[in-house]
Amino acid sequence: MFSALRDVFRLPDLKSKILFVLGILFVFRLGAHIPTPGVDAKAMASLFEQGGVLGLFDLFAGGALRRFSIFALGVTPYINASIVMQLLAVVVPAIEKMQKEGEEGRRKITQYTRVLAILFATIQAVGMVLWLKSMNIIYVSGVSVLVAVITLVAGSIAVMWLGEMISDHGIGNGISLLIFAGIVVRVPESVVRTFVLLRAGEMNFLTLIIAGVIMIVVIAGCIILQEGQRRLPVRYAKRVIGNKIYGGQSTFIPLRVNSAGVIPIIFASSVLLFPTTIARFFSASFAQTISKVLSPSSPIYMILYVLLIIFFTYFYTAVVFNPIEVANNLKKYGGFIPGIRPGRPTADYIERVLSRVTLGGAIFLAVIALLPSLLTQMLGITTFYFGGTAVLIVVGVALETVQQIEAQLLMRHYEGLVRRKGKAGGILRL
Of 321, 27, 44, residue with least CA distance to 177: 27
Which amino acid type is present at position 194?
A: T
Write down the pLDDT at residue 427.
32
The pLDDT assigned to 208 comes to 76
For 246-265, b/e burial (b = at least 16 CB within 10 A) is eeeeeeebebbbbbbbbbbb
Per-residue pLDDT, 428: 30
For the chain, the average pLDDT equals: 77
Within 301-378, strands assigned E span: 335-336
> What pLDDT does residue 134 have?
74
Q: Compute the average pLDDT of residues 298-314.
A: 86
- Whether residue 430 is predicted with pLDDT greater than 60 in this model: the reply is no
User: Average pLDDT in the 38-58 region?
Assistant: 65
Provide mean pLDDT across the span 208-223.
79
Strand order in the sheet with 335-336: 250-256, 229-236, 335-336
The yes-or-no verdict on residue 244 having pLDDT over 70 is no
pLDDT for residue 188: 79
Q: What whole-number distance in Å separates Cα of residue 177 and Cα of residue 163?
A: 8
- pTM of the model as a whole: 0.72
Tell me how crowded residue 73 is: count the other CB atoms within 10 A of its CB: 30
pLDDT at 114 over 60: yes
In the prediction, which pLDDT does 116 show? 92
Mean pLDDT of 54-58: 63
pLDDT of residue 198: 78
Torsion over CA: 101, 104, 107, 113 (sign) = negative
Q: What is the Cα–Cα distance from 355 to 254, expressed in whole angstroms? A: 14
Q: Is the pLDDT of residue 124 over 70?
A: yes
CA–CA distance, 56 with 259 (Å, rounded to integer)? 24
For the CA atoms of the chain, what is the radius of gyration? 24
Q: Can you tell me the mean pLDDT for 296-314?
A: 85
pLDDT at 247 over 60: no
